[in-house]
Every structure is written in C-alpha cells, then in structure tokens.
Amino acid sequence: MINQTKLDHMKPKAREYTIADRDGLFIRMRPSGTMSWLCKYTYQGKQSKLTIGKYNQKNPDAAWSRDDARERATQIQKWVAQGIDPKIAIAQENEVKRALEKKSRETFQHLLAEFDDMVLSKRKRPEHPRRMLNSDVLPYLKNKPCSEITRKDLLAILDRVRKRKHSRTLKKGAPTSANRLMSLLKQLFKFAAQRDWIEYSPIMDLDKSAVGGVEKSRDRALGEVELKQLMAQLSQWRTSEQNVLFIKFLLASGQRIDTCAGAYWSEFDLENAVWYIPPSDEERATKTDSNNCRRLPLSKYLINILKRQYKYSAVSKYVWPPLRGNDYSRPFNYGSINLLIRSNKFGGLDHWTPHDLRRTMATRMAEDMEIPPHIPEKICGHAMRGSMAIYNRAEYFKGQGKALNAWGDYLKMLEAPSVIAIKLASH
C-alpha cells in the first residue's frame, strides 16, 4: 500500500522503479523524475497494464492524485469482472469527453462570431443585422451548444420580438421585426449547417405565417393635397429647425434616410451643384446602398437647405451632427425622426414614414410631372432592370437635374400657406 508520505519521499534513481498499491495499481518513477500511475489486470487470460496518468509530486491535485488513481484502478477491475475490455471502455470515455469539449467550443456565441466574420462583415450595411442578433438572440443562446438549439428555442425568441412594442409606432406588437429576424436566423443556421456546426437547420422550413404573419409591401406615397398640407405645416412642428430641414432634404433629394444622415460636407460641391454620394464602405458611418460613387445634381432648393443647415454644423464634418451635446465626430441618430413624426401626429395625415417621402418624390415625378420613369429611378440610385441594365450605361445627369429643380420649385411653392395645389405637369 502506498501512503502519502511514501509518495512525497520518492526520489528518482539510475533506473526506473515501481511501488505497488492495491487493485493492480502501482506507481512508476523514472530516472527523469516523471511519476505515473499504472494498473495491471488480466483480461481473457492475458495480463495487461494501462497507464492511468501522471502524478505531480509538487502539486498532487494538479494531475492524478492517489485517491483518483485508486478509483480508476477499481473501475478497471470492475470492467474486467463484467467482461469489458478496459482499453475499449477508456477509449469510449475519451471519445465522449472529446465530444463534450467540442460542444463547449461550438456554442452559439462562437457560431455568431464566425458568421459575422465570414458573412455579415462582407455586407454593405452589416450594422442592423448585427444589432438584431446581438440584442435579440445572443443573450438567450450565448453559451448553448449549437447542436442543442431547437426550433422551440428560436420560436420563443421570435415570439418575444413579435410581442414587444414597435420601435417607431410604439404600438404593441412588432410582427415585421419578427419576420426580419426569422429571415436572418434562417441565413445564420443555413450557414451553420454548411460549415458543419450542425447537421441541419432547425428552422429551415419555417415561414412568415408562423411568426409575424404575411406582410403587405408598403406603397404609401403622399398625394398632392397631403404634400401641400405637410409642407405648409412643417415649420410649425414642435422641434428644432435642423429636424425640419432634414425632413425637407429627404423629400427634395429622394435619397435613403441613412444616406442623408451620414453625409459629409466634403461630399458636396455647392458651386457646381453636385452631391458625390460615395459607395458603401467602412469609412462612412452610415451606408449608401451603392457599389460605386454616383453623382446627384443639387437643385436650388436643396442648396438652400444645405446653406441654412451650415450654421448648425459648420464645426462638424457631418452635415447633420447630433442635436444635443458637443460630440460632432458622429452623425445624429436618424432613428429619432420616426418618433418626431409620430409626436407631431404625422402632420395631420395618415401614418407615413421617412422612406415614404422617397416614394412620394418618385411617384409624383412619374405621375404628375410626367417625367420618364427611368429618371426618378436614377435619382433614387436604383439599378436599371432587364436589357437596359446591360446595354444602357447612361447616367442621365442633366435629366436628373431638370427633374430635381422642377421638384424643388414645386416644394417651395407648397410651403406658402395660401397656395392651392396644382398639377406638377405645368412645370
């Protein structure tokens, strides 16, 4: 029998030696000073021995202690008595251990990091999907092994999003947000299956009807009378002039809200009336949904807005810096515009969003000003479709300029309280 005192006083010799314990257990000391536990046993009439593990004389609990080795030796003898080959039993144990270690390394947070690196970071606008996954999903699945994530887990997350208040309307229920998250999760778990994190996606066949419901695409565009009412009332809204100028700029330019919100002064050539809208890249705080730099003619109306805005942002590189505080190194939070519109009761109109202003410009140009549809499409930065995308590389810069100036003149006319809306075709 080996006691702790004997273990503590073992010294290396010129040749290795062993000291026996019980149940076939013994310890071996090599000339190098390395100590190991081994176990002798007889299986199917053949004598064998197994190395259990090393013993650390300075810190017994750091490796296989005497008690741990004895417990393993007892188990080996039990396996032999049951007709089980100890070598096979230990190999199976190690395989289970490796599988558990692999699971601990393949948790959702590790999958998300790889998905972000290989997929999200390559997108033009990764911020929104990244924010959804980090805020709505990661807190609930962070340390869960990917192979154990079920459809029920993901439906619980989607239901939580579906039932919360909408960020813009503040109404209870955000089915569209739930549908957007479902689409993102389907991409994520398809990626996981392709990269061998999981065998198959748990939500591969899930559709909108089981989450937020089938959506109707928005087709809201303000009519002439609504437009006149909005333009006449904007100056009376309970907000700063900067916010009013921003809304007018959105409407007059037809650009996306994030394209406008993140604009640098350096992008504008006011002398030649051109806005050089850059491609989406990591340099710009907000994205532009464009692969290449494109030119947008600036109408007199837009130039006037920019000159009025300059007094508020001359110290910033951004045209629209934050309204509060002294941090001019970032653009303002354009998400607040949705709350502003709501707090002013949509200007007395039916519900509308900032993106509807972009649709309003394109619709009014095409329907009322009878401008060929490819002109507002170009203004909005949309790619040509069909054969035109292949053969027609024209920029239609002059045509865009004429259309935007006519549109700007009309908006200026509508700002006068006494103006009666007339057909834009007269322009």
Q: Which residue has the higher pLDDT, 416 or 315?
A: 315
Q: Which residue has the higher pLDDT, 137 or 417?
A: 137
pLDDT of residue 50: 94
Q: Residue written as tokens 């030649």?
A: 272
Please list the residues that pair with 39 across neighbouring strands.
Answer: 25, 50
Q: Is the pTM of this model over 0.75?
A: no
Mean pLDDT of 30-53: 94
Count CA atoms within 13 Å of residue 18 on its CB side.
Answer: 14
pLDDT one-digit tens code per residue, 176-195: 889 999 999 999 999 999 99
**Mean pLDDT of all residues in the chain?**
86
User: What is the DSSP annotation of 39-78?
Assistant: EEEEETTEEEEEEEEEE-SS-GGGS--HHHHHHHHHHHHH
Q: Which residue has the higher pLDDT, 421 or 72?
A: 72
Class of domain 108-210: mainly alpha
pLDDT of residue 83: 94
- Does 172 have pLDDT greater than 70? no
Identify the burial level of 82 via C-beta atoms within 10 angstroms of its C-beta, where 0-12 means exposed, 13-18 middle and 19 or more buried. exposed
Q: Which residue has the higher pLDDT, 218 or 263?
A: 263
pLDDT of residue 99: 74
Q: What is the CATH number of domain 4-104?
A: 3.30.160.390
In this prediction, residue 424 has a pLDDT band, given cuts at 50, 70 and 90, of: very low
Mean pLDDT of 375-388: 76
257, 250 in Cβ contact below 8 A? yes
Best CA proximity match to 297, nearest among 426, 410, 396: 396
In this prediction, residue 282 has a pLDDT band, given cuts at 50, 70 and 90, of: very low
Neighbours of 426 (CB within 10 A): 9
Dihedral (Cα; 236, 240, 244, 247), 10-degree rounding: -130
406, 423 in Cβ contact below 8 A? no
Lowest-pLDDT choice from 98-107, 221-230, 239-248, 354-363: 98-107
Percent of the chain with pLDDT strictly greater than 90: 56
pLDDT one-digit tens code per residue, 386-408: 555 444 457 789 999 999 999 99
Lowest-pLDDT choice from 22-36, 135-149, 313-327: 313-327
pLDDT of residue 373: 87
Q: How far is CA 198 from the centre of its chain?
A: 21
- Does 158 have pLDDT greater than 90? yes
Instruction: Map out the domains of the chain as residue ranges.
Output: 4-104, 108-210, 224-426
Mean pLDDT of 359-365: 93
Mean pLDDT of 193-200: 91
Best CA proximity match to 331, nearest among 312, 311, 316: 316
- Does 376 have pLDDT greater than 50? yes
Mean pLDDT of 252-278: 93
Length of the chain in terms of residues written: 427
CATH architecture label of 224-426: Orthogonal Bundle (1.10)
Task: State the sign of the Cα–Cα–Cα–Cα dihedral 189, 195, 200, 205.
Answer: positive
